[in-house]
Amino acid sequence: MSSYRQILYHIVFRTKDSKKALPLEKSEELYKYIWGIIKNKNGFLYRINGMEEHIHILSDLHPSVALADYIRDIKTASSIWLKQNENFPDFEGWADEYAGLTYSWKDKDIIINYIKNQREHHKMSSFEDEYRKILEEHGIKPDERYFP
């Protein structure tokens, strides 16, 4: 008998103090680096995108990996890489908090498109407004200490 699982996480995290430290024209480098981290954790990346101050990831999470460890490893490795990369001179680190939200398989394409269209979406909405809305849609009361 085989075991089956499908664990989709929409992960969102931001730069320290929401500093616009991820130039959009250089972001593909960062996304490819994070993709490598995810593959090394036996995860599968469905989509990654973001803006100058935050990143969205939709990935499958292998059941042998705890979500907190997964995100810690992504943030730690990418932070070291970013600080050593001359294309990201303003990067000082990631904020401590993050959102890791589960989705059903049938919602996968909706979330992929949402992440794919970040630049269009943020012409009308700030990161803070987007983050509040995502949390509230999942029944989470945002901690206002983390919002300017």
Reading the block at residue 115, the tokens are: 């992440």
The pTM for the full model equals: 0.92
Percent of the chain with pLDDT over 70: 97
CB atoms within 10 A of CB 87: 13
**Amino acid identity, position 118:** Q
Q: What is the pLDDT of residues 49-59, one digit of tens each?
A: 999 999 999 99
> How confident is the model at residue 2, as a pLDDT?
65
Going along the chain from its start, the domains and CATH numbers come out as 8-146 (3.30.70.1290)
- For the stretch 64-101, pLDDT in tens is 899 999 999 999 999 999 999 999 999 999 999 999 99
